[in-house]
C-alpha cells in the first residue's frame, strides 16, 4: 500500500509519534525554529522548518506514513522513511533541473511508495537514480525504478559512478552533472564505504554527505581513506558557499554528545537534520588530531560521533 505524506512547510507527526511537538521537535534550546538557507552568494533558499516523523514508543501503534515528503523548495525535495518500517529511517533527496532530475538513494524499503511519489514530481523528465553509497539501506528501492520510462539507475560499482558523473580519477578527481540550469559537483569520498560520493548543489549551496557526515554515528570502515576523503571535502567546502550539510540519517539526540542507541525505532527529541560547513571543518580537524592509526573507541562530539569499526 502506498503511504506517504507531503510537507510543504511544517509536517506534524502522526498519531503514532509522541514526544516533542511539531513546532520544536529536535531543536536545541536557543536554535531558531524558522530555518531558511542563506540568501547571499546568489543561492536559491530553502525551508527546513519541518518536524520529521521519528517513530513510536510502540511501533504496533505507529500511524505515521511510510514516507514523509518535505519540499525544501520547489525543485528540491527531501524524503524520510518511517523508523517503524526501518530503524535506519534514511533521508532521500530529489533534485530537479530544467531538463533532468537526480534521485540520490532509494532508501531501505523495497516498496513502490518512493517511486510513486517521485515520478509524478519529475513529470517525465529523464531521472538519474544514483546512490551516496552501496549499502542496502540506501539502495533497497532500486528494483522499483528499474525499467521505468526515462529512468536510469546507476549501477553500484565504481566504474558506473565514474561514468555517470565524469570522475576521471577515483577518488581524487571531481565530477559533475548538469540537470539543466543546475550543476551538481560530485566528489568521491570513500571511507565509510568504498564507493561513497558527496554532491554539492551549486543552486542551493547544499552539500549531500550520505553516511560520511550526519548527526549520528559515523561508522568508518577504512580509516585511511575516510581521513583523506574528509580532508578533500573540507578543502572543497572551504572555498564554496555552503548553506547546509545534509546527511542520510539522524541518530543524535537534542542533547550534545548524546546519540540514540543503534537500532532504536523511537527518537522523540532528535537532533535536527542540518549541519553546517563548520561541522565539516570540525570533523576534518578531529580526524587530523587523531592521526593515521585507527582509534580503538568512539569519540563523541556535540553533533556527531566518530565511530571507527
Average pLDDT over residues 101-127: 98
pLDDT tens per residue across span 231-247: 999 999 999 999 999 99
pLDDT tens per residue across span 149-183: 999 999 999 999 999 999 999 999 999 999 999 99
Are 111 and 215 in contact by the 8 Å Cβ rule? The answer is: no
Residues 6 or more apart from 184 whose CB is under 8 A from it? 95, 102, 176, 177, 178, 199, 200, 201, 202
In this predicted structure, what is the pLDDT of residue 6? Answer: 55
In this predicted structure, what is the pLDDT of residue 85? Answer: 98
pLDDT tens per residue across span 185-223: 999 999 999 999 999 999 999 999 999 999 999 999 999
Q: Does the pLDDT value for residue 111 go beyond 90? A: yes
- Lowest-confidence range among 23-32, 65-74, 166-175? 23-32
Q: Does the pLDDT value for residue 10 go beyond 50? A: no
Percentage of the chain lying above the pLDDT 70 cut: 87
Domains of the chain, first to last: 4-308 (3.60.15.10)
pTM: 0.89
In this predicted structure, what is the pLDDT of residue 309? Answer: 77
pLDDT tens per residue across span 257-305: 999 999 999 999 999 999 999 999 999 999 999 999 999 999 999 999 9
Average pLDDT of every residue of the chain = 90
The whole-angstrom distance between residue 184's C-alpha and the CA centroid of its chain comes to: 15
Amino acid at each position: 500500500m502506498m503511504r506517504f505524506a507531503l510537507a510543504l512547510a511544517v509536517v506534524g507527526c502522526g498519531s503514532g509519534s509522541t514526544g516533542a511537538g511539531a513546532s520544536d521537535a529536535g531543536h536545541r534550546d536557543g536554535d531558531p525554529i524558522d530555518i531558511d538557507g542563506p540568501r547571499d552568494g546568489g543561492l536559491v533558499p530553502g525551508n527546513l522548518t519541518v518536524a520529521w516523523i521519528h517513530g513510536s514508543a510502540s511501533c504496533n501503534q505507529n500511524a505515521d506514513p511510510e514516507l514523509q515528503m518535505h519540499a525544501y523548495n520547489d525543485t528540491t525535495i527531501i524524503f524520510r522513511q518511517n523508523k517503524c518500517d526501518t530503524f535506519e529511517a534514511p533521508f532521500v533527496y530529489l533534485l530537479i533541473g530544467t531538463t533532468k532530475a537526480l534521485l540520490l538513494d532509494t532508501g531501505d524499503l523495497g516498496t513502490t511508495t518512493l517511486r510513486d511519489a517521485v515520478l509524478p514530481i519529475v513529470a517525465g523528465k529523464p531521472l538519474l537514480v544514483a546512490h551516496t553509497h552501496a549499502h542496502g539501506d540506501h539502495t533497497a528501492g532500486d528494483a522499483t525504478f528499474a525499467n521505468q520510462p526515462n529512468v536510469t539507475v546507476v549501477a553500484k560499482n565504481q566504474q558506473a559512478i565514474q561514468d555517470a558523473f565524469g570522475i576521471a580519477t577515483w577518488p581524487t578527481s571531481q565530477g559533475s552533472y548538469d540537470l539543466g540550469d543546475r550543476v551538481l559537483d560530485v566528489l568521491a569520498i570513500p571511507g565509510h564505504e568504498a564507493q561513497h560520493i558527496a554532491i554539492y548543489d551549486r543552486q542551493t549551496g547544499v552539500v549531500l554527505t550520505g553516511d560520511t557526515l550526519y548527526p549520528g554515528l559515523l561508522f568508518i570502515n577504512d580509516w585511511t581513506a575516510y581521513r583523506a576523503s574528509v580532508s578533500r571535502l573540507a578543502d572543497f567546502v572551504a572555498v564554496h558557499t555552503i548553506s547546509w550539510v545534509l546527511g542520510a540519517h539522524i541518530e543524535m539526540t537534542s542533547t550534545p554528545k548524546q546519540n540514540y542507541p543503534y537500532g532504536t525505532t523511537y527518537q522523540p527529541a532528535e537532533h535536527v537534520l542540518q549541519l553546517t560547513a563548520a561541522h565539516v571543518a570540525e570533523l576534518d580537524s578531529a580526524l587530523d588530531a587523531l592521526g593515521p592509526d585507527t582509534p580503538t573507541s568512539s569519540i563523541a562530539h556535540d553533533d556527531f560521533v566518530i565511530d571507527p569499526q
